[in-house]
Chains A and B, each alone.
Chain A
Amino acid sequence: DARVTQTPRHKVTEMGQEVTMRCQPILGHNTVFWYRQTMMQGLELLAYFRNRAPLDDSGMPKDRFSAEMPDATLATLKIQPSEPRDSAVYFCASGLDLAVDEQYFGPGTRLTVT
C-alpha cells in the first residue's frame, strides 16, 4: 500500500525553536509538494520539487523557512526560528510528472508553536 509518510505527526514547540518536518514520498514519484493548512487561509502551497530540484518556493517566508530534498526518498521542511503564527498543519504530497496534477497527500504534521 503506497503512501506518503510524514514525521512527526504532532509537534509542540516554543517560539524561537527550530522545527524540522520530514516527508517520504511514494516510491517512484518524482514531484513533492509542501502545503500549509489553516482555518483562515485554507491550503497554501509553500514549495515544490521535481526530480529533487526546487521549482518554486515563492509561497514560503524566505527568512525562516527552508525546504530541501537530500535524496529521492526524503524531503524536509525547516522553520528557524519558529513563531506562533506558524502553527498549522503541514502536508506533504507527491506525484508523478506524467500525471502532473494528481497529488497524493501524507497524513500531515500538526505544529503548535507557543
Chain B
Amino acid sequence: QKEVEQNSGPLSVPEGAIASLNCTYSDRGSQSFFWYRQYSGKSPELIMSIYSNGDKEDGRFTAQLNKASQYVSLLIRDSQPSDSATYLCSLGSGAGSYQLTFGKGTKLSVIP
C-alpha cells in the first residue's frame, strides 16, 4: 500500500521567511510528484509538479525531489499571508496508472 507522510503542522512562519514543507513516501515505483494547495473550504489546486531528482523552481516556489531517500519538499520563499493554506503532497506511480495518492497535508500559517 502506498503511503505518503506529511507533518500535519501547523507550521508557522513569519511573513517574508522561507517556509519548508516536507513529504516522504513508501512506493519506490513512484514516478511523479505533486504539491497541491488547499485553502480552507476550497478544493485542492495544483501548484507544482516534479518528475526527476533535483530542484524545480517556479516563481517563489521550489520543489525538491530525492528518489533515493524517498522524499519531496516544497520551499516557499518570501512567504506571504496569502500562502496560508494546507499543502498536500501527492504522487503518481505512472506506468499507465492515473491514480494519485495524497498525503493528509501540512497546514501552513504565515504570520504578518
Contact = CB atoms under 8 A, between A and B. Distances in A.
The interface centre, meaning the residue of B45, B98, B100 with most chain A CB atoms within 10 A of its CB, is B98
B99 A48 contact: yes
Contacts of B45: 105
B102 A42 contact: yes
Contact residues of A: prevailing secondary structure:
strand
Interface in B33-70: 34, 42-46, 49
The interface centre, meaning the residue of A31, A48, A95, A100 with most chain B CB atoms within 10 A of its CB, is A100
A103 B49 CA distance: 11
Interface string B85-112: 0001000101000111111110000000
B44 A101 contact: no
Contacts of B94: 100-101
